[in-house]
């Protein structure tokens, strides 16, 4: 049974989500304030976090940053903050998905299931990927460049694995989004993938402004270029 931590201050929404998620077989714990969430949080205790952005004593963004210092647990923002900059910030600090209110319950549950399934797939299959001085140890969920540990979020790690599994193959944006999130790409803002690519390049490329490994193929998509 997957254990979810919901951080949300709207009591009516908490009650509705508690009923719906437990009906789907999830175990759920709820925090209505940031302080409560910090008291509940322990790395390894939860399989997924669902965070509101605006909380009485802080923001979900603050909590996400703290969690990402030590954990790759999947994080979904569920919030009324629907400005493009809010979405970009949520993803840029380590969120794996961003859903704006109002939302359809079926969509939320599908995306929770998809994110849990993809996380499980990436953490349990195979042994190691190696290319361009980068090694990914799949069982441990860690990536190294020239024997230096890369501090990757869960989404960055999955994106890196996807490209390294498909060397020298052009992947369209639709293929990438479908593979990573297992849902219609239309649910995800068009800038989402650009944010992930920029963030991943900063961490793996010697010169992110002139990437050699993670290439943009104009009008088509992206490619992992094997250079060694």
Q: Who contacts 13 (Cβ-Cβ below 8 Å, separation ≥6)?
A: none
The DSSP secondary-structure symbol of 186 reads G
Counting the structural domains of the chain, the total is 2
Length of the chain: 228
User: What pLDDT does 77 receive?
Assistant: 94
Q: Same domain for 76 and 165?
A: no
143 & 91 share domain: no
Identify the pLDDT of residue 186: 42
Model confidence, pTM: 0.62
3-state secondary structure of 16: helix
User: Do 78 and 101 touch, CB atoms closer than 8 A?
Assistant: yes
State whether 73 and 163 are in the same domain. Answer: no
pLDDT for the residue 183: 46
106 and 185 share a domain? Answer: no
> If DSSP states are collapsed to H, E and C, what string results for 127-153?
CEEEECCEEEECCCCEEEECCEECCCC
In the predicted model, residues of the chain with pLDDT beneath 70 are 120-126, 181-191, 228
Tell me: do 104 and 146 sit in the same domain: no
Pair (23, 114) in one structural domain: yes
Instruction: Supply the pLDDT for residue 185.
Output: 43
Closest by CA to 145, choosing from 202, 72, 94, 196, is 202
Q: Say whether both 113 and 28 belong to one domain.
A: yes
Question: Where residue 206 sits, what CATH number does that domain have?
Answer: 1.10.10.10
Q: What is the pLDDT of residue 102?
A: 87
What pLDDT does 123 receive? 54
Phi, psi angle pair for 33, to nearest 5°: -140, 160
pLDDT at 192: 74
Domain end call among 70, 86, 120: 120
The residue range of the domain holding 178 is 126-224
């Amino acid at each position: 049974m997957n254990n979810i931590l919901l951080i949300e201050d709207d009591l009516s929404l908490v009650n509705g989500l508690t009923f719906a998620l437990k009906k789907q077989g999830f175990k759920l714990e709820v925090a209505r304030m940031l302080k409560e969430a910090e008291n509940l949080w322990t790395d390894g205790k939860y399989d997924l976090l669902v965070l509101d952005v605006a909380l009485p004593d802080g923001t979900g963004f603050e909590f996400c940053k703290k969690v990402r210092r030590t954990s790759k647990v999947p994080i979904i923002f569920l919030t009324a903050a629907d400005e493009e900059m809010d979405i970009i910030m949520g993803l840029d600090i380590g969120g794996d998905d961003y859903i704006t209110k109002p939302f359809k319950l079926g969509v939320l549950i599908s995306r929770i299931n998809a994110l849990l399934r993809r996380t499980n797939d990436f953490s349990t299959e195979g042994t190691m990927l190696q290319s361009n001085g980068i090694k990914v140890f799949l069982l441990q969920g860690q990536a190294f460049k020239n024997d230096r540990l890369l501090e990757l979020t869960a989404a960055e790690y999955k994106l890196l694995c996807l490209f390294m599994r498909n060397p020298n193959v052009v992947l369209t944006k639709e293929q990438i989004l479908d593979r990573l999130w297992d849902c219609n790409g239309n649910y995800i803002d068009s800038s989402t993938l650009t944010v992930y690519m920029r963030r991943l390049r900063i961490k793996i490329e010697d010169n992110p402004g002139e990437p050699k490994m993670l290439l943009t193929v104009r009008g088509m998509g992206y490619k992992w270029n094997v250079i060694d």
